Amino acid sequence: MFDVWLSAVPIFFTVENLLVVVIGLLIGITIGAIPGLNVPMIVALLLPLTFYMNPVTGLCLLMGVYKGGTYGGSISAILLNTPGAPAAAVTGIDGYPLALQGRSGKALRASIYGSVAGEFVADIVLITLAAQIAQVALRFGPTEKFSLVLFALVTIGVVSSRHKLKGIGAGLLGIFFYTIGIEPVSAATRFTFGIFPLIGGVPFLPMLIGLFAVSEFFVHIETKSLAGRSDSVVPVSTRREDNYVSWAELRAGARTIIRSTGIGIGIGALPGSGSAISAFVSYGAAKNASKDPDTFGEGSLDGVFAAETANNAAVGGALIPLLTLGIPGDAITAILLGVFLVHGIVPGPELFTTSAHIIYPVFVGLIVANVLHYFIASLGLRLFTRVIQMSRALLFPAVIVLCLAGAYSVNSSIFDVYVMLFFGVLGYLMKKFDFPVAPLLMGYILGSLLEKSLVQALIIGRGSFLPFVTRPISLVFLLLTGFFVVWSVVGQKRRTNAGPR
Amino acid sequence: MKRTMVLLLAVMVAPTVLAAGEAEPDPPEDYPTKSIELVVPWGAGGRTDINARMFATIASNYLDQPMVVVNRAGGGSVIGGQYVAEADPDGYTLLAITPGTNVFPVVFDRAPYDTFDFTPIGQIGSSTMAIASRPDRPWSDVSELVEYAEENPGEVTYACVSLSGPQLGFLRWSDAAGLEFSHVPVGDDAEAVEAALGGHVDIAMTSSVATITSHVNEGSLNAIMVFSDARDDALPDTPTATEMGWDVVASPFTGIAGPKGMPEEVTRKLREVFMQVMEDEDFHTLMNRVGESLDPRGGEEFYQIWVNDYEGYSGIIERMGLN
C-alpha cells in the first residue's frame, strides 16, 4: 500500500500536472462564477484536449475544473443572488442576505473554508474507504432511494423559513415542471400541450438561469440604475470583521461543517442524487440542529457553511461510485467516465489494481488541488469583490447577455432561450410575492428521482407498499422524515410561545 | 480599475454578439467552405458523444474545415434527430445517429420525422447488447434462466430504458422464447447495472458490454447472453442468442447521417471522408482505447441496417401493442 503512494507522488509532481490543476481550478471557478455558463459544458469542451494528454494530466485538469466549478457557483450566488451552478442555489439563501449587509467578504470566505474542508475530507474518505462506501451505496435500491427523496423533499419546508406554505407550494410547482415530457415508465408524453420541444422535458439549465439570474435582472430593473451612476451591486463594508471569518465563528460552525461533510459524501455517493440535493438536506439539517434557526435565511453563517461544505463534499462522494463501480452519478462524472475510457482505464472493481499507476497519482492530484483551491479562491475573492463594486447599470446587462448565450448554448436551441425567459418572469413574480425560488428547483430535481424510484420499487415489490417499512434503511429514512416534520413544527411552536424576541 | 473591469466585460461579451452573423451558402462543388456541425442527440460524455468527438477530431483533418460537435440532447435523442431531419440538407448539419433516433418514429405515430428522413453516411461501429445477473440468482446461464422464467412467469425483473434499443431487443428475445418478464424502467445503462449489482433487479439489460465487463471479470455479475451476431471479444464465454437457437440479432450502431435530400456531390464527399477516417491510424488508436470495436460500413450497407432494424422493431411493437 505504502509503496504505491511512494511511486505515485513523483508521477504527479511534474510542472505540467501542477500547471493543469491550477488552470483547471481557474477555469472551473471562473465558469462556475459566471451565471449562464455551465461547468458540465466546459468539461465536455475540454474533453477532446485530454485525448492527447497523458491520462494523469488529463484527469487532473478535469478534476480541477469539477472542483473549481462546484465552488465557483457560490461566488455569484453570494454577490448577485444568481447561483452560477445548481448546487449553489442553497448557498445564496444566506449568502446574499449577508452580502446585502455589506458582509460579502465574510460570506465568501466562509464558502471557501466550507468548500475546502468538505472537499478535503471527502477526498480522504474517497481514497481510504471508497470500496466499503460503494457497497453501502449499492444497498440503496429503489425503495431506499424513495424514502431518502421523501426525506429530502421535507427539508423544502424547513428551508423556506418564513413562508413554509409558499415554499411547499413552490416545491410542488417544481415537481409539476418535472412531469412535463416523456415519462419514464411507458415513455408516454405528458403535459407537452402539443409543443414538440417539450417532449424532452423542461430543460434544466435554462430553467435554472431564468429562475435565478433573469428574475434577479427584472428585480433590478425596478430600481432604475443609470449608467454613470456609481451605485454598486451590493454594499461593501470596509470593516475588518465584516470581511473575515473569525476564529470563534469558525469554531461555532465546526459542527455544521462536520455534519455537512458527512451528508455531502453520503448523498454524493448515491448515483443520481448529486450535489444540489446534498446542499439542501445539509442546510435543512443545520437549521433543525441550530439553536438559532430563525437567523437562517437572514444571513446565517452556518447556512453558508452547511450548503457549501455539503456540495463540495458531494464531489468527492460522486467519485466513489464512478471509480469503484464505473457508475457515474451526474453530468460531470459521466464525462469523467469518458476521459477514463479514452485513456484505456476502465473504472470499476479492477481499477485500483490494474490502473494503480494512474489512479494514485490522480489521488495525489486531488489533495494538491484542495490546497491550491484554497489559495486560488482567496486570491479570486479580491477580484470578485472588485467586480461587484462597479455600477449595476453596467454589470447586469453584461450578465443578461451571458445568460442568453448560456441558455442557448446548452442544447443550441432558441426554444431554451424562451424557456429561460418564461422562468425569468415566473421567478420575478415569485420574488415579488415572497415565494422562495430555491424550493422550485429542488422540486424539479427531486421529482424525477421520486417518480422513478417509486415506480421501480412498486414494480419490484409487485405493487406492495410494505417494503417501504420492512426494509431497514428505508424505514430509518421514513422515521427521520417524520421526526423532521414534528421537530420543525414543535420547535416553531415553542419559539412562538416564548414570544417574539 | 473600474475602466479595466468594464473593458474586460465588454471583451467577454463581444464574441457572443459577433457570432450572431451568418454567411451566404456556397455551391455544393466547393463543399465544405465553412465549419460543419455534428449534432449529438445525447448529453456530453456519453458513449455516442465520445465517439462523435473522436470522429469529428479526425474528420476535420480530411475536410480542411473544422467539424464541431454540438450536443442537442433531450427526449431520448429525438430532439437532436428532429433538428437534423429538418435542417437544410447542405451537408453543414450532420447527425451522430444511434438506433434511438430511428426507433422513435416506429413507436410514436405523432413523431415529427420518419425513420428514413436521413441520408446515411456510414456506420462507425456497433456495440454488443448483453444481459447480466448477480451470481446469487437461481440461474447461472441462459438455459437455467429460461427454465426458471418458464416456471415463474413474470417474476424475473429486468432493468433497461423504456422503449429503447435494449428493451426492444429484450422483448424480441422474450417473445421468441415465449417467456414473460417484468420490466423495471431506468434512466440509462449505468443505472441498470447499479440496480443489478445491488440485487434490486434480477437482470441488467445494457446496450454495451463495456458497462458490465469489469464486473463480470471480478465475479460480481454473470454475463448471461449477448445479442450480437458473433461472440464478443470481451466476453468470449458468453453465448449469443442465435447460438442458443433464437433468431434475434440486435446491435446498436453508431454512425453518421445527414438530412434527407443532400446534393449528390456533398454526400459523395462525406462518404469519402468517412471511409478515410475509418482507415486513419489515430482514429483506430482512440477507438481502441475506449474499447469500441470498429465495424465500418459504407452508406448503402448502413441503410440496409436501418431497414432490418425497422422491420424487426415494428414487428415486435405491433405484436406487443406498444405504440
With cut-offs at 50, 70 and 90, classify the pLDDT of residue A497: low
The 10s digit of each residue's pLDDT in A227-284 is: 555 566 777 777 877 888 888 898 989 999 999 999 999 999 988 777 888 999 999 8
CB-based contacts of B246, cutoff 8 Å, min separation 6: B173, B176, B177
CB B271 within 8 A of CB B122: yes
Q: Is 80 exceeded by the pLDDT of residue A89?
A: yes
Q: Specify the amino acid at residue A254.
A: A
Taking the C-alpha atoms of residue B161 and residue B5, their distance in angstroms, rounded to an integer, is: 49
Q: Does B12 touch chain A if contact means CB atoms closer than 8 Å?
A: yes
The CA distances from residue B112 to A76, A353, A497, B305, in Å, are: 40, 49, 61, 22
Taking the C-alpha atoms of residue A469 and residue A131, their distance in angstroms, rounded to an integer, is: 28
Least Cα distance to A296 among A52, A441, A95 occurs for: A95
Selected residue of B194, B208, B212, B285 to mutate for chain A interface (largest A Cβ count, 10 A):
B194
Query: What is the predicted pLDDT for the residue at B23?
Result: 45
Q: Smallest CA–CA separation between A254 and chain B, in Å?
A: 35
Q: Specify the amino acid at residue B25.
A: P
Tell me how far the alpha carbon of residue A62 is from its chain's centroid. 17
Give B235's contacts in chain A (Cβ within 8 Å).
none
The 10s digit of each residue's pLDDT in B168-182 is: 889 989 999 999 999
Of the given ranges (A315-329, B19-33, B79-93), which has the lowest mean pLDDT?
B19-33
Selected residue of B79, B109, B191, B209 to mutate for chain A interface (largest A Cβ count, 10 A):
B79
Give chain B's domains with CATH numbers.
Answer: 31-126+252-320 (3.40.190.150), 130-226 (3.40.190.10)
Q: Does B5 touch chain A if contact means CB atoms closer than 8 Å?
A: yes
Q: Is 60 exceeded by the pLDDT of residue B1?
A: no
Taking the C-alpha atoms of residue B282 and residue A308, their distance in angstroms, rounded to an integer, is: 43
Per the structure block, which three cell numbers stand in for B146?
429460461
Burial class of residue A124, CB neighbours in 10 A (0-12, 13-18, 19+): middle
Query: What is the predicted pLDDT for the residue at B8?
Result: 56
Query: What is the predicted pLDDT for the residue at A500?
Result: 47
Taking the C-alpha atoms of residue A410 and residue A398, their distance in angstroms, rounded to an integer, is: 19
Average pLDDT for B284-303: 84
With cut-offs at 50, 70 and 90, classify the pLDDT of residue A211: very high
Of the given ranges (A346-360, A445-459, B153-167, B188-202), which has the lowest mean pLDDT?
A346-360
With cut-offs at 50, 70 and 90, classify the pLDDT of residue B105: confident
The helix, strand and coil proportions of chain A, stated in percent and rounded to the nearest 5, come to 75, 0, 20
Quote the mean pLDDT of chain A: 87
Q: How many CB atoms are located within 10 Å of the residue A19 CB? A: 13
Q: What is the ipTM of this complex?
A: 0.83
With cut-offs at 50, 70 and 90, classify the pLDDT of residue A382: confident
Taking the C-alpha atoms of residue A437 and residue A215, their distance in angstroms, rounded to an integer, is: 10
Query: What is the predicted pLDDT for the residue at A428?
Result: 95
Average pLDDT for B71-81: 79
Q: Does B57 touch chain A if contact means CB atoms closer than 8 Å?
A: yes
Least Cα distance to B81 among B258, B264, B310 occurs for: B258
- The percentage of chain A sitting over the pLDDT mark of 70, rounded to a whole number, equals 95
Give the pTM.
Answer: 0.84
CB within 8 Å: B16 and A405: yes
Q: Does A181 touch chain B if contact means CB atoms closer than 8 Å?
A: yes
CB-based contacts of A170, cutoff 8 Å, min separation 6: A156, A160, A430, A435, A436, A437, A439, A440, A443
Per the structure block, which three cell numbers stand in for B198?
445491488
Q: Does B185 touch chain A if contact means CB atoms closer than 8 Å?
A: yes
- Bridge partners (DSSP) listed for residue B67: B36
Q: Smallest CA–CA separation between B182 and chain A, in Å?
A: 8
* B296 vs B313, higher pLDDT: B296
CB-based contacts of B14, cutoff 8 Å, min separation 6: none
Query: What is the predicted pLDDT for the residue at A106?
Result: 92
Query: What is the predicted pLDDT for the residue at B294?
Result: 87
Facing B289 at nearest CB: one of A271, A327, A342 = A342
Query: What is the predicted pLDDT for the residue at B21?
Result: 44
The 10s digit of each residue's pLDDT in B2-26 is: 566 555 555 555 545 544 444 455 6
